[in-house]
Amino acid sequence: MRVGRKTTGGKYHANRKTKKYERKGITIIVKLHPTKIKTLRVTGGNSKKVLLSCDFANITDLKGKTKKAKITNVVETKANRFLARQNILIKGAIIDTEIGKARITNRPSQEGTVNAILIKE
């Protein structure tokens, strides 16, 4: 049978529309540029800080010490190699910094900062 039709040929009608909180949000892409932060209103009247672009990261070394370092380049992204070419910062991306190579451990598009762990070379 045709999709969206009953066996008799009649149409199926949705019993309600999609609610606002069920709709998909805008995909936020965090680029490697000077830092820009945007504040969004979220459910319950709360606010969320979102990164639009960033050039610094909070990097934790193997001893547990955290330092702020400038990001120079996105080396590799396992999710999609084209994101690394465009210098897009996502969770799991390997970045080149002043201190050394590091892997991003948080979701910059959701949290408003870039946190990373130093990688042994």
Residue 2 lies in a domain: no
Tally the domains of the chain.
1
CA angle, residues 41, 45, 50, in degrees to nearest 5: 25
Q: Using CA atoms, how far apart are residues 32 and 35, in angstroms rounded to an integer?
A: 8
Instruction: Return the H-helix or E-strand segment holding 84.
Output: helix 81-85
Assigned domain for 7 exists: no
pLDDT at position 114, please? 96
What integer pLDDT is reported at residue 56 of this predicted model? 96
Residue 53 is assigned to a structural domain of this protein: yes
Report yes or no on 42 lying in a domain: yes
Domain range for 55 is 20-118
pLDDT for 99 equals 93
User: In the prediction, which pLDDT does 60 show?
Assistant: 96
Is residue 4 situated within a structural domain?
no
Which CATH number covers residue 99? 3.10.290.70
* Residue 9 within any structural domain of the chain: no
**In sequence order, which residues have a C-beta less than 8 Å from that of residue 119 and are 6 or more positions away?**
94, 100, 101, 102, 103
- 12 is a domain residue: no
Instruction: Summarize pLDDT for 15-69 with one digit per residue, the tens.
Output: 999 998 899 888 899 999 999 999 999 889 999 999 999 999 999 998 999 999 9
Q: What is the pLDDT of residues 76-103, one digit of tens each?
A: 999 999 999 999 999 999 999 999 999 9
Q: Collapsing DSSP states into helix, strand and coil, what is residue 95? A: strand
Does 10 reside within a domain? no
| Global pTM exceeds 0.85 | no
Task: Quickly state the pLDDT bin for 1 (edges 50, 70, 90).
Answer: low
State residue 42's pLDDT score: 86
